[in-house]
Amino acid sequence: LPGLVIENCSSGGHRLEPSFLELTSMSSFSDAHETPEIPVIAANLLRLVPARQLQVWAVLRPEDPAERTIYSLAAALLGRVCLSGAADLLTDAQLALVRRALDLYHRASPLLVGGVNRRFGSAVSSHRHPRGWQAVRRVSADGKRILVVAHAFAADGDVKCEAPLPDGPWKIAETFAAPDDDAHLEAGCLSLRFASAFRGGAILLERP
C-alpha cells in the first residue's frame, strides 16, 4: 500500500524513538497543541525527529485574533503541518491566512526532506512561560534555499529576531507574518521584528 500514511501517535508514551519512527510516516510531536510553548517543543524535537516526520498541530479557533492564527500556523511550519480545531467556522480572513501558510508550506516542503536545522534565540528558562524569542533556520541540502521560522514570546514591547545566513547573496522569496511585522536582510542575517509579544512568522529565502 504505497499511498498509506501511518501516524505514530501517543508521543508522550516514549514512542518518539528510532524503532517506532522507522515504521511510520509521521509522529505526533506533543499533546501541547494549544499552548504558547508549541514552537519551543517543536524546535527541541527537531533534534530527535526528522522534520519530514515531525507532525506539528495548528489548532485554529474562530475567536482567535489574526496574530494568534499566524503564531500557530508558523509553528506548524517547523515540521509536517497538521490542522485541527474549528476549521469549518473560520472567517474568510482566517481561511486566507491558512491558504497563505499552506502555499508557503508546499513551496518549502522539499526542505523538510533534506537540510540542516539550527536554532537561534533566547535561552529557554521555562517551557510553560517562555520569554524572549527563537528563530529556527533550515538550510536545504543543496544550500540554495532557507526557511526561517521565528517566534516572539513574552516580552515588553516589540521583539527583534535574527537568524545568521550562509555567505553569499540571498533574497526573500516569501513572507508569512502579520502586516505590521517587518522582515528584511541586514549584515549577513535575516532580521524579523515583531510588533508585540507572542507573534510568529516564516520566511523563505532563495539565492538570486
pLDDT digits (tens, 9 = 90+) for 79-135: 999 999 998 999 999 999 999 999 999 999 999 988 899 999 999 888 899 999 999
Is the pLDDT score of 17 beyond 90?
no
> 3-class DSSP state for residue 102?
helix
β-pair partners for 7 = 26
Helix (H, G, I), strand (E, B) or coil at 59: strand
How far is Cα 110 from Cα 8, in angstroms, rounded to an integer? 22
Coil, helix or strand at residue 201: strand
Identify the sign of the CA torsion 152, 153, 158, 164. Answer: negative
* Residue 99: Cβ within 10 Å count: 10
CA geometry: angle at 98 spanning 208 and 70, to 5°? 80
pLDDT tens digits, 45-58:
999 899 999 999 99
Which cell is 44 given? 527541541
Angle between helices 92-108 and 66-76 (to 10 degrees): 20
Give residue-wise pLDDT tens across range 148-189. Answer: 999 999 998 899 999 999 999 999 999 999 999 999 999 899
Q: What is the pLDDT of residue 86?
A: 93
